Amino acid sequence: MAEFTMELNDDQKQVRDWIHGFAADVMRPAAAEWDEREETPWPVIQEAAKVGIYSLDFYAQQFFDPTGLGIPMAMEELFWGDAGIALSIVGTGLAAIGVVANGTEEQIGTWIPQMYGTPDDVKVAAFCSSEPDAGSDVGSMRTRAVYDQAKDEWVLNGTKTWATNGGIANVHIVVAVVDPELGTKGHASFIVPPNTPGLSQGQKFKKHGIRASHTAEVVLEDVRIPGSCLLGGKEKLDERLARAHERARSGGGERVKNAAMATFEASRPAVGAMAVGTARAAYEVALDYAKTRTQFGRPIIDNQGVAFQLADMRTQIDAARLLVWRASWMAVAGRPFESAEGSMSKLFASEVAKKVTAQAVQILGGNGFTREYPVERMHRDSAIYTIFEGTSEIQRLVIARTISGMPIR
């Protein structure tokens, strides 16, 4: 088990610099165009695949970094480049995490390669959990999965929303209700293979930010999938449901995690790292601008009103990164989040991103409000971090429940 460290080793620095170079040379020059087009930047994803950034091997190497810092380091650099394009590059990762967190070794080996495709024929994947009436309230999920024993098939019906890559994905991972009596404990995750009849794209959303990332509804109408597409397998599911029913009858017992929460808990520090990347990008633009923009015969950074804002911005970014790194290290070291450290990292970093990007716009003044400068886009992009994969309010609820042991509502 690696000791916690705030210093990257030489190999990590080399990877960081490589990703940073791709973000600076390929992503940033394309950022404004794909933001305006509001389309998936397939050419950029393909370039990422050709150099090895968009690949199963790359994410596996970062995921299995014994220090836990591989993934947050990579996320920070990519989202420093551009949040919308970066989310198009890493969005498949959430579906992959869903398979790794809940699937068998055979399912991992079979389906994750199909999520990425090849450099000459790139594919993407989608994780489908949220619904029109079930976002933060996963207990209100209505998408049903019913087992057809005669055919050894699962039949899925329902509508998912806010799905990154929804409808355009090669592989969809869908969370559905299999036992309504158990509430969130009666959920399971399913693999919907490519070209499965009954799955279609619903509304594609026109968004405030991260506009280069495709977000849409996914409609499931009598979608039939093989029994082998239940993540973890039916025997494991039946055992889990039986334990949950027994605990419900006894009126207590050990908490049983549902499929969606297992995925989100694993990804929250990574989302915090994304927020750190966007905040850092905006801070750097604001710092350079303040050093070169003159008013009243001197650079505006000579004014304490500007300089102190930049000092606060840098302090908050560094503090956010430390929370993210701590949570990432704890996860890989097998340390339990006894104080909801994963949620802490996501909560703090996401709110720092919104605050820092707003300050960057203010420091640039009128220029910051135009699309001639990137802080306007960064500010729009930052709004998503306090919303997706658990709103700030949900993170505070998780933290409060964890530190108090009380069922706070």
Active site residues: 389
Q: How many CB atoms lie within 10 A of CB 281?
A: 28
CA angle (213, 21, 23) in 5-degree steps: 15
Name the strand (E) or helix (H) holding 125: strand 125-128
Hey, what amino acid is at 169? A
Which among 200, 149, 202, 158 has a CA at the least distance from the CA of 180? 158
Judge contact between 274 and 213, C-beta under 8 A.
Answer: no
Judge contact between 43 and 34, C-beta under 8 A.
Answer: no
Q: What is the DSSP letter of 282?
A: H
Judge contact between 273 and 350, C-beta under 8 A.
Answer: no
Task: Report helix angle 70-81 to 83-102, nearest 10.
Answer: 150
Token look-up 């601008």 returns 289
CA angle (98, 92, 122) in 5-degree steps: 135
Token look-up 């450290």 returns 341
3-state secondary structure of 68: coil
Q: Where are the beta strands (DSSP E) in 129-251?
A: 144-148, 153-164, 171-177, 187-192, 199-204, 215-226
Q: How would DSSP label each residue in 6-54?
A: SS--HHHHHHHHHHHHHIIIIIHHHHHHHHHHTS--HHHHHHHHHHTSS
Token look-up 């399971």 returns 188
C-alpha–C-alpha distance, residues 115 and 169, integer Å: 8
* Paired sense of beta strands 125-128 and 171-177, if any: parallel
